[in-house]
Amino acid sequence: MNVRESVGIALQALRANKLRSTLTLLGVIIGVASVIAVVSLVQGLNQYVTNQLTASGSNVFSIDKYGIVFDNDTFRERGKRRDLSSEDAAAIARSGAHVEAAVAQLTAGATVRRRSRSLQRVTVRGVEPDYMLVNDLPIGHGRPIGEADERGRAAVCVLGAEVAEQMFQSLDPVGGEVRVGSLKMVVVGVGERKGSAFGASQDLYVLVPFSIFEQMYGRNRSVEINVRSRGQESFNQAQDEARAILRAKRHVRPGEPDDFEIVTPDMVLDLWKNLSGAIFIVIIGVSAISLVVGGIVIMNIMLVSVTERTREIGVRKALGARRRDIRTQFLIEAITLSAVGGLIGLALGGFIALVLGLLTPLPVYVSPEAVALGLVSSSLVGIFFGAYPAVRAARQDPIEALRYE
């Protein structure tokens, strides 16, 4: 069959009436554009989240009372568990053969002030001396919180780079004073700048000694324990050790479930992947609907075309076209239509992805998979919705068709 001829006829028809063609292909264009944009965006987000979660090192996990909770009942249930304490963290650090370090931390929000400047809702963390080691948070300037600060309940702090900048501008913060909540503290160091994640700055924090945090906010709170394993290969063993140590310490009987939760970056990543997968499915569903609508429009146009060209079909049959020749011809025309829509959609979707990439910190890029998905889905629309008109065309009786006015 003459593919070039069929493609040519379809393109000619498209060119002949640009407005009608655009409207005809709108469904396919929107469908493919949204497929491309969404796939690119989700891939970009996945990349971004993976980068963020593994930034502090993939061999760090945390333990707390709640873990990842989605419903109120579970939250309330877990709230009744015994609190975790800095002694628990110390026990893990002491007895875990595969544990490099384990620290307890507590978190609160506070306003940070210096002279007339103030910054609200800054995360204040009460941290133990190994905190920066465990969480791979290097000091940019000055020194970290040390053993002596902890023991002496020193009113000292390490500022996040953003807090330091807001409070001190171009001045050197180290040695300066800030007010955290109601307490005056001496700045001993500034954390290295981390930039922003999920649209929020990661440099808006104040680290204070764990002991002074307890003094500021009270003692009876459950801590979050951060544990770093000795290496990637001992990550699972370190978890097992931490679990065993805590169960023994908290008298959990064999066979009973843990009364604490271990959260690893992989779990958070999985959670994210489930979530983004759900978003993905919803939006792909919407794209699919517009592809189907686009397909129905193409089917309609093709049916009109088959009727208009009944006589042409009769002539072709008289000259020796078999059913399959006619079928192929109309199918190629339908596929050409939807593929043109697909290409326009591809360009549009790629453009949207590009703009998203420029406007957000997400590493959005149009992947070959997204392009393939867009083109394959639009071609499938052509094949699926072109099939019925093509079969109708092929079935025409040659004599009836030749007599058609």
Binding mask 134-153 for other proteins (x = CB under 8 A): --------------------
Q: Which is nearer to other proteins, 177 or 325 (CB)?
A: 325
Q: Which is nearer to other proteins, 172 or 400 (CB)?
A: 400
Q: Is 120 in the site for other proteins (CB under 8 A)?
A: no
CB of 323 to other proteins, least distance (A): 6
Q: Which is nearer to other proteins, 1 or 380 (CB)?
A: 1
Q: Which is nearer to other proteins, 247 or 323 (CB)?
A: 323
Q: Which is nearer to other proteins, 259 or 325 (CB)?
A: 325
CB of 26 to other proteins, least distance (A): 25
CB of 5 to other proteins, least distance (A): 7
- The CA distance from 28 to 287, in Å, is 9
CB of 25 to other proteins, least distance (A): 21
Choice from 5, 77, 172, 192 touching other proteins (CB under 8 A): 5
Q: Which is nearer to other proteins, 8 or 176 (CB)?
A: 8
Angle at 332 between CA 327 and CA 338, to 5 degrees: 130
- The CA distance from 47 to 28, in Å, is 28
Q: Per CB under 8 A, which region of 124-132, 250-258, 378-386, 396-404 contacts other proteins?
A: 396-404
CB of 401 to other proteins, least distance (A): 10
Do the Cβ atoms of 310 and 42 come closer than 8 Å? no
Q: Is 2 in the site for other proteins (CB under 8 A)?
A: yes
Q: Is 398 in the site for other proteins (CB under 8 A)?
A: yes
Do the Cβ atoms of 65 and 404 come closer than 8 Å? no
Count of residues touching other proteins (by CB under 8 A): 22
CB of 11 to other proteins, least distance (A): 12
Question: Residues 8 to 27: which contact other proteins by CB under 8 A?
Answer: 9, 12
- The CA distance from 338 to 33, in Å, is 13
Q: Which is nearer to other proteins, 183 or 402 (CB)?
A: 402
CB of 349 to other proteins, least distance (A): 33
CB of 339 to other proteins, least distance (A): 21
Q: Which is nearer to other proteins, 10 or 352 (CB)?
A: 10
Q: Per CB under 8 A, which region of 102-110, 187-195, 273-281, 397-405 contacts other proteins?
A: 397-405
Secondary structure string (H, E, C) spanning the chain: CCHHHHHHHHHHHHHHCHHHHHHHHHHHHHHHHHHHHHHHHHHHHHHHHHHHHHHCCCCEEEEECCCCCCCHHHHHHHHCCCCCCHHHHHHHHHHCCCEEEEEEEEEEEEEEEECCEEEEEEEEEEECCCHHHHCCCCEEEECCCCHHHHHCCCCEEEECHHHHHHHHCCCCCCCCEEEECCEEEEEEEEECCCCEECCEECCCEEEEEHHHHHHHHCCCCCCEEEEEECCCCCHHHHHHHHHHHHHHHCCCCCCCCCCCEEECHHHHHHHHHHHHHHHHHHHHHHHHHHHHHHHHHHHHHHHHHHHHCHHHHHHHHHCCCCHHHHHHHHHHHHHHHHHHHHHHHHHHHHHHHHHHHHHCCCCCCCCHHHHHHHHHHHHHHHHHHHHHHHHHHHHCCHHHHHHCC
Q: Which is nearer to other proteins, 172 or 308 (CB)?
A: 308
Question: Residues 281 to 340: which contact other proteins by CB under 8 A?
Answer: 311-312, 314-325
Question: Residues 186 to 215: which contact other proteins by CB under 8 A?
Answer: none
CB of 18 to other proteins, least distance (A): 18
Q: Which is nearer to other proteins, 146 or 398 (CB)?
A: 398
Q: Per CB under 8 A, which region of 36-44, 46-54, 286-294, 394-402 contacts other proteins?
A: 394-402
Residue burial 307-339, b: 16+ Cβ < 10 Å; e: rest: eebbebbbebbeeebeeeebbbbbbbbbbbbbb
Q: Which residues bind other proteins (CB under 8 A)?
A: 1-2, 5, 9, 12, 311-312, 314-325, 398-399, 402
